[in-house]
């Protein structure tokens, strides 16, 4: 997918000088072989330099992994490890870093030549990282055999993509939030803390650029691609495609010319109400198409919404979407279509509908089709509101989540794994019937209690574990990350009676 990083992890074995160096070297080789046997061998690079208690060797290792194109690092304790040089590796490497360590192999190798004591060394590594104010990802089970460490490195890939991606991301926004949309307030301090750059432009800038793209020779090919995606016969494409193609080129050109020093970009626009008056269409379908290329374009100038979408792209490696936590499921629909019909017996309060006007990728919709935005058509001519992509969201596992900065610049996050049910919504827009265990309590005592806005991002799969680790690594405190607690596990603000 475009616009998210490809990660290559350099594996550097570290060795304390009072332990036999071959112990770390051979264990590093075993990890590399185990990784190649189970995963893509091109994900990793085995650094041939064994680190002892030498800052000079540490420098050589950094130079070597950089020369071999590594943008992430695994510091591997083949034995107890040198506290100073191993944590200097993490401090001076410009990119995401993880630590893992070797478990003892056999009972007949516990003598002076074969016992590594890395279980002990991981404690000192952790302490020294804190002394240096240096963050590294340490897996849930950091001390494992070769196959286990290979799995740890593979688990690190989405976490590294998030960290590397955010440090190389620019978010470009167009226009202030619509009136009465204070929920999309976006304090920028935490963006800078995450390494994200922000460029705030006006709707007028966007409109000017759009008009300059009129007659662009590339419009015909983009229009043809849109028609093919939506299944239109040649010569029967709707008139709206010309303007939508012109708008898509406008956004892509702006993103490319305004990246500056960053490698990746995300966008967010003020998509109503003046948009319809000036552009004479709605941008939803274009937003969905850019997401399919790995460029999130959130609605309603939701800066932390597009940031959340980008994080989800890096975690899952596939398109995500941004939806309103929108409306309750009617009781008659619940009784006839949901109650007792699935593997888990969802309560009515476990269900809700996630909706947006039409921004979800066509591949994530059942029977996708283009239409006009029916809500905006109450205040604008319907032909000015063409451009939504509609359809029920495909059934299957999902992770509903969001990263948000509070007004006083604290990072808060939530995630809840659930599913989109195979239930017809009987509604409009990009919409699905969502089911999350104990959603009613989660909605009241997490989302409302902590003042989260109505927009949530959706990954299509269960990615809570990777998301949690990634957000913790980039700086979200454990106490500021919430999830849908099971029945009997009371939220802090939940009435005990």
pLDDT digits (tens, 9 = 90+) for 178-220: 777 777 788 999 999 999 999 999 999 999 999 999 999 999 9
- Length of the chain measured in residues: 497
**Per-residue tokens: 244:** 């939508």
| Res. 106: pLDDT tops 90 | no
pLDDT digits (tens, 9 = 90+) for 411-443: 999 999 999 999 999 999 999 999 999 999 999
Cβ neighbors of 39 (< 8 A, separation 6 or more) are 150, 154
Q: What is the pLDDT of residue 426?
A: 96
Q: Would you tell me how many other CB atoms lie within 10 Å of the CB of residue 37?
A: 11
Q: What is the pLDDT of residue 181?
A: 75
Residue range 136-160: average pLDDT?
98
Residue identified by tokens 């998210």 is 4
Cβ pair 78, 52 in contact under 8 A: no
pTM: 0.96
Q: What is the pLDDT of residue 323?
A: 97
Q: Output DSSP code: residue 263.
A: S
Cβ pair 284, 179 in contact under 8 A: no
Distance CA 209, CA 204 (A): 9
| Res. 246: pLDDT tops 70 | yes
| Widest pairwise Cα distance in the chain | 82
Closest CA to 170 of 292, 257, 271: 257
Closest CA to 276 of 247, 251, 237: 247
Element (H, E) at 311: helix 303-316
The four Cα atoms 323, 327, 328, 333 give a dihedral, to 10 degrees, of -90
Residue range 393-404: average pLDDT?
98
Cβ neighbors of 202 (< 8 A, separation 6 or more) are 174, 175
pLDDT digits (tens, 9 = 90+) for 346-398: 999 999 999 999 899 999 999 999 999 898 888 888 899 999 999 999 999 99
Q: Output DSSP code: residue 322.
A: E
| Distance from the Cα of residue 477 to its chain's centroid | 17
| Res. 113: pLDDT tops 80 | no
pLDDT digits (tens, 9 = 90+) for 119-130: 999 999 999 999
Mean of the per-residue pLDDT values of the chain: 94
pLDDT digits (tens, 9 = 90+) for 268-316: 999 888 899 999 999 999 999 999 999 999 989 999 999 999 999 999 9
Domains and CATH numbers, the chain: 9-166 (3.40.50.10940), 169-483 (no CATH)
């Amino acid at each position: 997918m475009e616009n998210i990083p490809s990660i290559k992890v350099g594996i550097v074995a570290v060795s304390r000088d009072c332990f036999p160096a071959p112990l770390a070297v051979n264990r590093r080789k075993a990890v590399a072989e185990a990784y190649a046997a189970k995963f893509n061998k091109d994900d990793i690079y085995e650094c041939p330099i064994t680190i002892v208690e030498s800052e000079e060797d540490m420098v050589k290792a950094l130079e070597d992994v950089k020369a071999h194109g590594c943008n992430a690092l695994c510091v591997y304790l083949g034995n107890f490890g040198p506290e100073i040089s191993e944590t200097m590796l993490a401090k001076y490497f410009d990119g995401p870093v993880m630590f893992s360590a070797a478990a003892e192999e056999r009972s007949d190798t516990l003598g002076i030549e074969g016992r590594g004591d890395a279980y002990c060394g991981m404690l000192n590594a952790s302490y020294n990282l804190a002394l240096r104010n240096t963050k590294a990802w340490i897996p849930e089970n950091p001390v494992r055999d070769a196959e286990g460490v290979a799995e740890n490195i593979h688990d690190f890939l989405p976490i590294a993509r998030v960290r590397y991606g955010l440090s190389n991301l620019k978010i470009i926004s167009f226009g202030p939030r619509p009136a009465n949309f204070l929920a999309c307030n976006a304090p920028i301090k935490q963006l800078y803390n995450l390494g994200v750059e922000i460029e705030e432009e006006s709707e007028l800038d966007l409109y000017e650029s759009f008009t300059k793209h009129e007659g662009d020779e590339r419009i015909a090919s983009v229009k043809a691609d849109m028609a093919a995606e939506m299944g239109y016969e040649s010569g029967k494409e709707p008139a709206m495609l010309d303007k939508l193609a012109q708008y898509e080129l406008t956004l892509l050109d702006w993103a490319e010319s305004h990246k500056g020093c960053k490698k990746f970009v995300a966008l967010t626009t003020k998509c109503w109400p003046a948009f319809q008056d000036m552009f004479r269409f709605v941008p939803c379908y274009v937003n969905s198409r850019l997401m399919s290329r790995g460029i999130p374009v959130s609605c309603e100038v939701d800066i932390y919404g597009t940031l959340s979408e980008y994080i989800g792209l890096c975690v899952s490696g596939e398109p995500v979407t941004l939806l309103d936590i929108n409306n309750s499921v009617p009781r008659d629909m619940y009784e006839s279509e949901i109650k007792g019909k699935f593997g888990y017996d969802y309560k009515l309060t476990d269900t809700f509908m996630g909706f947006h006007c039409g921004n979800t990728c066509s591949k994530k919709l059942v029977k996708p089709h283009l239409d006009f935005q029916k809500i905006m058509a109450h205040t604008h001519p319907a032909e000015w509101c063409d451009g939504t992509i509609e359809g029920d969201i495909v059934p299957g596992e999902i992770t509903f989540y969001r990263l948000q900065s509070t007004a006083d610049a604290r990072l808060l996050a939530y995630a809840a794994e659930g599913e989109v049910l195979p239930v017809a919504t009987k509604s409009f827009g990009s919409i699905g019937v969502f089911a999350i265990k104990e959603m009613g309590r989660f909605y009241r005592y997490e989302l409302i209690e902590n003042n989260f806005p109505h927009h949530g991002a959706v990954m299509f799969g269960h990615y809570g574990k990777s998301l949690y680790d990634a957000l913790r690594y980039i700086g979200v405190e454990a106490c500021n990350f919430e999830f849908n607690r099971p029945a009997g596990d009371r939220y802090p603000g939940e009435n005990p009676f």
